[in-house]
Structure 1
Amino acid sequence: MFESIYRSIELGKESFEVIRKDKEILLFPVLSGIACIIFVSLMIVPALIAGTVFGSTMDNPVILYGGLFVFYLITSFIVVFFNTALVTCAHIRLTGKDPTFHDGISNATKHIGRIFAWAVVSATVGVILSVIRDESNIIGQIIISMIGMAWGLLTYFVIPVMILEDLGIASSIKESASLFRKTWGESIVGPGSISIIFVLIGLVALLPLAIIVLIGNATLTIIGIAGYVLLIVVLAIVASALQGVFNTALYIYAKTGKVPESFSPELVQTAFVPKKGRMGPGTI
């Protein structure tokens, strides 16, 4: 546990040094979050109207999963679009150049067709896994979760491969899987994450909020809740930006075999958590 926290802190510090030089990187998760909030808000009204008009018809699996697909598709497109911009700027910085906000948006716009195609693939896989998970018992749900994790790892580098190597979706998935297996092998259970420390900060911040609520002052409670929500939003934005920068560094290492100067070789080379009892090159 303490080792994971230490790694999260170190990853965060090294990724932050990159963002400190290019603060515009923080704008991409901000814009992504705003766009997603707007989309969800626009979906709520039609969903409520549909539920009122059609009633139990909304329980129809076709309508339910159709709506889920649309939700996955649009949110995936938004997130991938701004992640593309973020990865573009991070890659420019990590390869020794000075990126601009326009560089990120311009490259994302250039690849908008492929971004949409990848969003369709992601939404399709997400809905299929959701359908199977909903129809499965506990063992089936565990298996589906493992399949989902495996899919996430094999497609870990799809975005940088797609936008930096100008490959199509199928070729990007194949190249992503190849880079991952070649660099870290197959005996891993998941990636190390920068977000651990941010989750802990969020949990610790619950303590003063709980004290404020227990005091019973309505004004203080509203201020406390508003402050906590703002804190969570800020933490999410920073964590997303830091993780995007680190993932780009991992891609550069996987592609070239060289660790970007901004990062420690040990953190990059052991970025993924090995299965218990499996250590050494090619098994992490």
Structure 2
Amino acid sequence: MRRWPVSDWARQGVLLLLGLMALFPLYFSVVNSFKTPVEYARSPLNLPPDLAPGAANYARAWSQIGLPTLNSLLITLVAVILTLLLAALTAYAFAVMTFPGKSALFAVVFILLLVPDFLTLIPLYVQIKKLTLPSNYLAVILPYVAAGQAFSILVLRTFFAQIPRELLEAARIDGAGHVQMFTRIVVPLSVPILVSVGIIRYVPIWNDFLLPSLLLDERHRTLTMALVKFQGSAESYTAPDFGALMAAYVLAALPLLVLFSFLMRYYIQGLTSGAVKA
């Protein structure tokens, strides 16, 4: 029978403790989503004595965040897909093609990563208002796509540059053009890194509150806007129903949990491929 050294037991104990700490917010939300306000005030950490209030809590939560959740899904998916498409095309040009000013343009892309996001918020808002974009999905999708280009191009270009040139040259000899090489060779080989970049861009867009709150109207509000409104405000002296509020938090986290459960294998492959070391 194998005996673990004391150091291994200590390491496992630390990892277990960190895992429990990371899962505690999820436990807190799920447990309290099945409680009435009185039960929550009495003991927010204990298991609920009855699961019956959970149905009413989740029904009320969905009535408040149902449409905003669909709005967030639409905005996030479209923004991520457009970001990956444009960034992949640009990264392919930087990695495979030869054209004047290639190094200078790539240096500009790298410099854009050094600019903090909060410095561009006011110029971005003024520019969007000058473009007279409607207060709907387009007003936030375009900024999200633009904001994700620099990082996505840098990561994808590094990965595309590692694809064996012999493979591309063989395709070129067989008569394939850049479109065929991109769609039939580069993209299929790059699925893990595309998924990794997509998830990295998906999470901040899904969780963003500031930009949608500045640009979107009530009809097109996102999930984060609905959650903030659902919490109540101190000015109106309205206290939130914590059971329904915790149910709303659980529903808001479900899309991310489902996304990671289906794409985790590709995400890990992309992270370990060496492409994001750049």
Q: TM class, shorter-chain normalised? A: under 0.3
| Bigger relative contact order (CA 8 A; separation at least 6) | 2
TM-score (norm 1): 0.24
More helix by share: 1
**Which one has a bigger Cα radius of gyration?**
2
